[in-house]
Amino acid sequence: MGKIERLIAIVMILLQKEVVSANEFAKLFQVSKRTILRDMETLGLSNIPIYSIHGVNGGYGIMNEYKLDKRLLSHKDLENLLVALSGLGQIRVHQEVEMTIKKIESMVNPVSPKGFIHLSFYDWEGRSEIQPILNICQQAILQNRLVSFDYMDRNGLATKRTVEPYQLHFSEMSWYLKGFCLERQAYRTFKLSRTDRLNTEKQSFIPRNDLDHSVAGNDYQARLVAVKARISPRIQDQLLERYGRKSIDASNPEQVVATISVPQDEIGFQFLAGFGRDLRIIEPESYVADYRNFLAGIMNAYT
C-alpha cells in the first residue's frame, strides 16, 4: 500500500471512530509506529484537523466539526460489504482484500453483531495455484499491457494466444479472463485454469471504443432445454437451491418430478451424470437419446 492510499485510509477510519492509537494503525497497515507519526504530521500540514491524546488510552482523533453528520454508507451497508468481501477473500485470498476488510471492520460500530453470517468454501489446491495468474492479469489490465499464454480449449485443442485483457470474471467455481484476442480478432473469454505460461508482454495497447458493450456481452451462454426428470428425495434440496421451488412437483411423494433447464451438450450431460441413479430423464425424447449416447460412451471407456 502506498503512502497516499494509507493517508486516505487513516482519514476514513478517523471519520468513523473517536480515537485510534498509533500502535493500532501500525498493526493495521503493517508499518512502523514512526511511519504513522510521520503520516499524522503530513495530515496536519494538509490542514486536516488531527488532534492527539496522550496517556494509556490515548491516540489520534479528528475534530468533530470536520466529520460529516450524514454518512454515505450506514452501518448496515458496511456490514453487508463485510459479508461480501469475506466471501471474496475465500475465492481469492489477497493481501489487498484482507486490508480492505480490516478497514471496513474498523468503521463498523463496535456494538454491531459480528459473525452472524459465515461463508465457507472448499479449500481447493487449485485456488492457490491460480493466485499468481490472477495477479499477472490484474496488473496487465491496470497497465493496459498485452498478455500471452498457451490455451487448451474444452476439446483439448492447444493454441497460442495474445490478448488485450479487460476484465477478470468469477463464475460459480472458476476464474475467467475477458479480452480481445489478436489471433481471432474478436472478443473472447478464457478460462484461466486452461492457460499455461501466461506472461505480461512489454507492448501496451489502447482500449477499444466498443469495449463496454463487447466485454459485457462476451459470456458463453449455451442454449438451455427444459428437461423433466424423476428424482429421489436425496437430491431434491440440490435442485431446489439451483432452480427454485417451482421446479419441483412433489404432489406424488413416491415419484417426485423436477423440471430444470440444462444445455443439450456435454456440459449439460456431465452435470446430470453427477446425480447418478438419483435422476432419470423423462422428456424430451431427443434429450433422452443424446444423454443415453453420452452414458454409453462412458461405459465403452470401461469395457
β-sheet with 248-249: strand ranges across: 248-249, 256-263, 224-231, 279-283
The mean per-residue pLDDT over the stretch 120-137 comes to: 76
- Between residues 84 and 242, which one has the greater pLDDT? 242
pLDDT in tens, 200-215: 999 999 999 887 666 6
Sheet holding 174-181, edge to edge: 186-191, 174-181, 158-171, 145-152, 195-204
Indicate if the pLDDT at residue 240 is higher than 50. Answer: yes
In 142-174, which positions are buried (b, 16+ CB within 10 angstroms) versus exposed (e)? eeebbbbbebeeeeeeeeebebbbbebbeeeee
Would you put residue 97 in left (φ > 0), alpha (ψ -120 to 50) or beta?
Answer: alpha
Instruction: Give yes or no on whether 3-66 and 127-216 have one common fold.
Output: no
13-49 burial code (b ≥16 CB/10 A, e <16) = bbebbeebbbebbbebbebeeebbeebbebbeeeebe
Cα separation of 287 and 260, whole Å?
A: 13
| In the predicted structure, residue 86 carries a pLDDT above the cut 70 | no
Domain regions of the chain by residue span: 3-66, 75-107, 127-216, 224-301
**Is-contact 149 198, C-beta < 8 A?**
yes
- 14 near 50, Cβ under 8 Å? yes
pLDDT tens-place string over residues 50-66 = 888 888 778 998 887 66
Positive or negative, the CA dihedral 118, 121, 127, 133 is negative
What class is the 3-66 domain? Answer: mainly alpha
pTM comes to 0.59
Domain 127-216 fold is SH3 type barrels. (2.30.30)
* Residue 98 predicted with pLDDT over 80: no
Query: Percent of the chain having pLDDT more than 90?
Result: 46
Can you give the pLDDT at residue 230?
96
C-alpha to C-alpha distance for 196 and 160, rounded to whole angstroms: 10
Mean pLDDT computed over 254-266: 92
